[in-house]
């Protein structure tokens, strides 16, 4: 059954692909989630966008000349705002560069796992539902911050900002003297009820830190350590049946088992955290080890973006991976400066992303004044932690 939006219509996807079999496979995989229209050429895709301006998303095969398509879309006022997901084998695409900037919202490599694209598609549908109803989409959990928590946060943050203002001034001067760049670092975060806000810290990294992230995947503490499965490995079902692969994928000109490939993709980390992070400045290491870099977040707490205790607010690219019901429950709790995960596993290299999600969900279900007080006390004990993460 198609997922319907608030106005009763289905989410519409234009799939641009000239291979009939791939088009049929795509429609079979995602036709129950969205209304799929197939365009067999760039010219046909532009025609559909002109004739049917209510298309919500374009999924475009890069082999059909995405550069020409995106430039044509950009120059047409009718189609300029359409969002595109690009299917490609080019690992060096920079989504911040033209013609991709502002038009391509995601990139999937050929041979992608269907469930990965399904999750992304579900998020986009949910996002449009939220926009159409002015934020009144039916939610499975209550996401209103309790009055006692908001009053405590406001009063506490105001007093602490007043008392710590001399320290904040000194740290601001030291950050400016230590390395080039702004004093504060603000980044988009997703908090309670999927609310997006700017979270502030003292800058502890080099100004090119974001550009270095893609080359540091092997250092991620949340990566699953396991032996890489051979490309020709069979899933358990095919092994028991004694047959060849029944669900082949062709990835980088090699045949791989779809189940084995999806298992490998699923093992990739949902979160990012690094030990001995090379992007951190000299002063930044001290600020992080003492948690002084977090002090500007008292301003976020004063504004109501965050609470003293809650689940850590996530960057949008991490939050988008947690839209399934079991994961989304963590967003029923306020975003917090500290939380159950931090005091339970602070600095623990063995923690997995699944353990972190479970702790976040547990807090969302059980948080109370007593729980928050316990977490604050344990945070004060751990704030001078020695491990450099």
Residue 310 pLDDT greater than 90, yes or no:
yes
Local structure of 272: helix, strand or coil:
coil
Going from the C-alpha of 330 to that of each of 40, 48, 223, 334, the distances in angstroms are 41, 40, 21, 9
Domain-located, residue 220 = no
The answer to whether residues 36 and 26 touch, using CB atoms and an 8 Å cutoff, is: yes
Q: How confident is the model at residue 187 (pLDDT cuts 50, 70, 90)?
A: confident
301 and 374 assigned to the same domain: yes
306 and 162 assigned to the same domain: yes
Structure tokens at 338: 């500290």
Domain-located, residue 141 = no
pLDDT at position 61 is 93
Name the most confidently modeled range: 165-169, 330-334, 342-346, 353-357: 165-169
186 and 319 assigned to the same domain: yes
Residue 209 pLDDT greater than 60, yes or no:
no
Q: Which CATH number characterizes residue 32's domain?
A: 3.40.50.2300
Q: Say which range, 188-202, 233-247, 307-321, has the weakest mean pLDDT.
A: 233-247
22 and 128 assigned to the same domain: yes
26 and 65 assigned to the same domain: yes
State the total domains in the chain: 3
Domain containing 229 equals 225-266
358 and 275 assigned to the same domain: yes
Local structure of 133: helix, strand or coil:
coil
pLDDT at position 360 is 87
Q: In whole angstroms, what separates CA 261 from the centre of its chain?
A: 21
What backbone torsions phi and psi does residue 89 show, to the nearest 5 degrees? -115, 15
pLDDT average, residue stretch 115-123 = 80
Report the length, in residues, of the chain: 389
Distance CA 149, CA 334 (A): 10
pLDDT at position 165 is 94
Q: How confident is the model at residue 4 (pLDDT cuts 50, 70, 90)?
A: low
Residue 226 pLDDT greater than 50, yes or no:
no
Distance CA 114, CA 129 (A): 22
Structure tokens at 364: 């969302």
Distance CA 128, CA 137 (A): 10
Name the most confidently modeled range: 43-47, 73-77, 124-128, 247-251: 43-47
Q: Given the structure tokens 């670092």, which residue do they identify?
A: 185
For the chain, strand residue ranges (E) read 12-16, 35-39, 57-61, 83-88, 104-109, 184-190, 196-202, 248-251, 254-257, 307-309, 336-338
55 and 94 assigned to the same domain: yes
Domain-located, residue 258 = yes
Tell me which of 74, 99, 132 is where a domain ends.
Answer: 132
pLDDT at position 269 is 46
Q: Across the chain, what does the average pLDDT equal?
A: 77
Structure tokens at 18: 């000239």
Residue 307 pLDDT greater than 90, yes or no:
yes
Structure tokens at 334: 């306020």
What is the torsion angle, in degrees rounded to the nearest 10, for the CA atoms of residue 342, residue 343, residue 345 and residue 346? 70
Name the most confidently modeled range: 24-28, 91-95, 242-246, 347-351: 24-28
Local structure of 89: helix, strand or coil:
coil
Structure tokens at 307: 């609470």
- Adjacent-strand bridge partners of 309: 338
The answer to whether residues 330 and 311 touch, using CB atoms and an 8 Å cutoff, is: yes
pLDDT average, residue stretch 67-93 = 85
pLDDT at position 245 is 58
Domain-located, residue 69 = yes
172 and 49 assigned to the same domain: no
258 and 274 assigned to the same domain: no
The answer to whether residues 188 and 198 touch, using CB atoms and an 8 Å cutoff, is: yes
291 and 319 assigned to the same domain: yes
Tell me which of 201, 233, 266 is where a domain ends.
Answer: 266
pLDDT at position 158 is 96
């Amino acid at each position: 059954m198609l997922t319907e939006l608030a106005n009763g219509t289905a989410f519409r996807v234009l799939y641009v692909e000239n291979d009939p079999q791939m088009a049929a496979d795509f429609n079979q995989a995602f036709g129950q989630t969205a209304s799929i229209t197939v365009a067999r050429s760039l010219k046909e895709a532009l025609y559909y966008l002109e004739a049917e301006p209510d298309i919500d998303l374009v999924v475009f095969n890069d082999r059909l000349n995405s550069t020409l398509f995106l430039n044509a879309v950009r120059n047409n006022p009718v189609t300029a705002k359409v969002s595109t997901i690009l299917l490609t084998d080019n690992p060096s695409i920079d989504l911040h560069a033209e013609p991709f900037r502002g038009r391509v919202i995601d990139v999937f490599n050929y041979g992608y796992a269907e469930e990965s694209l399904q999750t992304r598609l579900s998020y986009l549908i949910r996002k449009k539902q939220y926009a159409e109803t002015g934020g009144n989409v039916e939610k499975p959990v209550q996401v209103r911050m309790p009055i006692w928590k908001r009053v405590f946060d406001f009063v506490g943050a105001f007093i602490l900002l007043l008392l710590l203002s001399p320290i904040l001034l000194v740290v601001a001067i030291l950050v400016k003297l230590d390395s080039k760049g702004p004093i504060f670092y603000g980044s988009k975060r997703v908090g309670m009820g999927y609310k997006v806000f700017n979270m502030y810290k003292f800058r502890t990294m080099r100004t090119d830190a974001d550009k270095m992230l893609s080359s540091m995947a092997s250092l991620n503490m949340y990566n699953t350590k396991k032996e890489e499965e051979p490309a020709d490995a069979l899933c358990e079902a095919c092994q028991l049946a004694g047959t060849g692969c029944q669900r082949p994928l062709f990835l980088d000109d090699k045949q791989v088992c779809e189940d084995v490939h999806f298992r490998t993709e699923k093992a990739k980390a949902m979160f990012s955290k690094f030990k001995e992070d090379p992007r951190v400045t000299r002063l930044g290491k001290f600020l992080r080890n003492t948690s002084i870099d977090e002090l500007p977040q008292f301003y976020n707490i004063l504004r109501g973006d965050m609470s003293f205790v809650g689940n850590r607010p996530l960057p949008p690219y991490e939050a988008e991976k947690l839209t399934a019901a079991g994961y989304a429950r963590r967003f029923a709790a306020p975003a917090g400066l500290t939380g159950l995960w931090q005091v339970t596993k602070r600095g623990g290299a063995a923690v997995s992303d699944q353990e972190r999600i479970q702790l976040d969900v547990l807090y969302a279900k059980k948080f109370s004044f007593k729980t928050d007080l316990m977490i604050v006390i344990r945070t004060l004990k751990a704030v001078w932690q020695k491990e450099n993460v």
